[in-house]
Amino acid sequence: MTQKTLCGGLLAVALALICVAGHAQNAAKPQPLKSGLEFTGPEVRDLQRDDFANPGMLWVTRGEKLWQESAGAAGKSCAACHGDAKTSMRGVTARYPQFDAARAGLINIEGRIQQCRERRQQAEPFKYESAELLGLTAYVGQQSRGMPASVTIDAQMRGRLEAGRDLYYRRMGQMNLSCAQCHQDNWGKKLGPETISQGHSVAYPIYRLEWQTMGSLHRRFRSCQSGVRAELSPQGAPEFLDLELYLAWREGGLPIETPGVRR
């Protein structure tokens, strides 16, 4: 048996057990809200809290440099328009995703950075999971560190929030599991050596030991899809933006931790 089938098998057995034993919780938000850090070991917590040892800070440093660099046909840097990110970007990540009139849809921080790049800098957009986009997203996110997640759901966004909630409760993949079955109904319980978290997005992008690199929230969504043996959606997919909005609403009030570290 390979490691992968062994892991998958254990996951299936463990979840089958807790799903039978557990009872459906109807509360839409976990009570109380807990950061993913509370479900990790002391090593991961120490790594995140030490601003030098935290490997995610390498991406923040990269993002900080990119913020100052001129790019594209317009020859403008982020700083040329936005000035010092420490003030102009303070609290921005905490308010995302938002409704974008031009797209007539949701946009997340990554999307907004790409939009600036294409329209204002007239430069090629970055690849979704590139070190550059992760760096800028992490640098912008860090400016909201400690501020409560506080997305505003206006009339235009209500439909997207509902779509996100539907997706959150929809069973998927060969294991026929929804997000909610793990992260809403069974958080705090053991799955092998790990404790199931509440699945919040406030620490993203995160440095994940499993990945050995920084990764986006949408990469994490893909990890969960692969964990339950579902088809993987691409980063930036509309359904991922809906899910991102639902998570932002669900975790409202939790402080932003970017750049987070997880196992």
Partner 1 sequence: MKKTSRRRFFAGLMAIAAWPTVRAYGQASTESVDAMVLTVTGGAKVQTGRVKLELPPFADNGNSVSLKVNVESAMTANDYVKSIHLYAARNPRPNVANFYLGPRAGRAQISTRVRLGGSQRVLALAALSDGSFWSATADVVVTLSACYDAT
Partner 2 sequence: MTARIQVPASARRGEVIEIRIAIQHPMETGFRLDDSGRAAPKNVVNALVCRYNGVEVFRAEMGSGVAANPFLSFFTVAEASGELVFDWVDDQGQTGSERAALTVKG
Is the distance from CB of 254 to CB of 149 less than 8 angstroms? yes
Q: How far is the CB of 104 from partner 2 (least distance, A)?
A: 33
Where do we find the tokens 């560190």? 145
* Cβ nearer to partner 2, comparing 62 with 218: 62
207 bridge partner residues: 214, 261
Count of chain residues binding partner 2 (CB under 8 A): 13
Residue 65's binding partner, choosing from partner 2, partner 1, none, with beta-carbon cut-off 5 to 8 A by kind? Answer: partner 2
Cα dist from 149 to 33, 81, 141, 194, 259, whole Å? 12, 25, 11, 26, 15
| Nearest-angstrom CA–CA distance, 254 and 146 | 9
193 binds partner 2 (CB under 8 A): no
Is the distance from CB of 217 to CB of 244 less than 8 angstroms? yes
Q: Is 224 a catalytic site residue?
A: yes
Residue 61's binding partner, choosing from partner 1, partner 2, none, with beta-carbon cut-off 5 to 8 A by kind? Answer: partner 2
Count of chain residues binding partner 1 (CB under 8 A): 30
Is the distance from CB of 37 to CB of 112 less than 8 angstroms? no
Angle of helix 238-250 relative to helix 158-169, nearest 10 degrees?
90
Residues 6+ positions from 253 with CB-CB distance below 8 Å: 33, 148, 149, 150
* Cβ nearer to partner 1, comparing 58 with 147: 58
| Nearest-angstrom CA–CA distance, 168 and 30 | 14
194 binds partner 1 (CB under 8 A): yes
| Nearest-angstrom CA–CA distance, 246 and 161 | 5
Which x/- pattern over 47-86 shows residues binding partner 1 (rule: CB under 8 A)?
A: x---------------------------------------
41 binds partner 1 (CB under 8 A): yes
Amino acid at position 256, single letter: I
User: Contact region for partner 1 (CB under 8 A) — 17-25, 147-155, 160-168, 190-198?
Assistant: 190-198
Which x/- pattern over 129-148 shows residues binding partner 1 (rule: CB under 8 A)?
A: --------------------
Count Cβ atoms below 10 Å from residue 38 Cβ, excluding itself. Answer: 11
| Nearest-angstrom CA–CA distance, 228 and 17 | 15
User: Contact region for partner 2 (CB under 8 A) — 61-69, 71-79, 116-124, 224-232?
Assistant: 61-69
User: Contact region for partner 1 (CB under 8 A) — 1-9, 90-98, 165-173, 247-255?
Assistant: 1-9
233 binds partner 2 (CB under 8 A): no
Angle of helix 109-119 relative to helix 131-142, nearest 10 degrees?
110
Q: What is the binding site for partner 2 (CB under 8 A)?
A: 52-53, 55, 57-59, 61-62, 65, 131, 207, 212-213
Catalytic residue numbers, as ranges: 224
Q: What is the binding site for partner 1 (CB under 8 A)?
A: 3-4, 7-8, 10-11, 14, 40-41, 43-44, 46-47, 191-194, 209-212, 215, 219, 222-224, 226-227, 232, 263
